[in-house]
Structures are given as C-alpha cells and as structure tokens.
C-alpha cells in the first residue's frame, strides 16, 4: 500500500478536490473510503502520475475511479488504468525503447546494447 499526504493548500487545489469529488460521487463523498478515493485521484492529478487501481468499473460497482476514468482524463488529464493495463503499457514502452535502440545501432554502426530484450 502507498500512503500520500494530500496537501490541497491553495484555493485552486481545494476547487480541484471538489471537482474530482463531483465526478466520482453524485451525492458527494460520504465515507472515509470515498474521501480517500478523491484524495488518491487528486494526488495523481497533482503529480501527473498514472493511477493504477482496481476500484470501480465493474457490474457490482459501475462508478468509482475506473468507472469515471474517461471523465477524469477529459477533465484533469489523468490516466487511470487497471494493473493488467499498466503492465501492457510498460511492456509496450519497453518494446518501443528497444526498437529505437535497434534503429540507432543500425544507423550508427554501433553494437546493440546488451540490455535489449532482457526486461
């Protein structure tokens, strides 16, 4: 588990917290868990992080963070994804990195780095 302290100290940050809360919960955050969800999203937005979660987006819980991923990205630019999506994203980035290294090696005549294909 990761713990972060929410430092919403400016009027803009407090407004952002309220806007996130309105997206996640029509009637406002009523429980500690719901307030925690709002703060998790706020911190991901504030620090421009990808938010990896399994919260919501299911038949049992259609809303939550995942169920509102599109609205959160549209409104705040934050990417929200499941753990499996995050793994696929990282694997794609590694493949892109390796392909660029292959192209550079080919055009420069240098040897391929020894780390290619070892991730």
Q: How far apart are CA 3 and CA 10, in angstroms?
A: 21
pLDDT at 57: 66
Q: What is the residue-level pLDDT of the chain in tens, covering all 119 positions?
A: 666 678 888 999 999 999 999 999 989 999 999 999 999 999 999 999 999 999 876 666 668 899 999 999 999 999 999 999 999 999 999 999 999 999 999 999 999 999 998 88
pLDDT at position 7 is 80
Boundaries of every domain in the chain: 11-81, 83-114
Of residues 83, 33, 87, 84, the one with CA closest to residue 63: 33
Q: What pLDDT sits at residue 56? A: 76
């Amino acid at each position: 588990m990761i713990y972060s302290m929410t430092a919403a100290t400016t009027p803009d940050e407090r407004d952002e917290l309220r806007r996130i809360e309105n997206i996640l919960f029509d009637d406002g955050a009523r429980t500690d868990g719901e307030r925690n969800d709002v703060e998790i999203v706020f911190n991901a937005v504030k620090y421009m992080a990808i938010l990896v979660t399994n919260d919501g987006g299911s038949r049992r819980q259609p809303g939550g963070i995942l169920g509102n991923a599109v609205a959160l990205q549209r409104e705040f630019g934050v990417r929200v994804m499941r753990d499996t999506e995050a793994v696929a994203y990282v694997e794609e980035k590694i493949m892109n990195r390796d392909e660029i290294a292959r192209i550079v090696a080919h055009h420069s005549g240098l040897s391929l780095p020894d780390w290619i294909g070892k991730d």
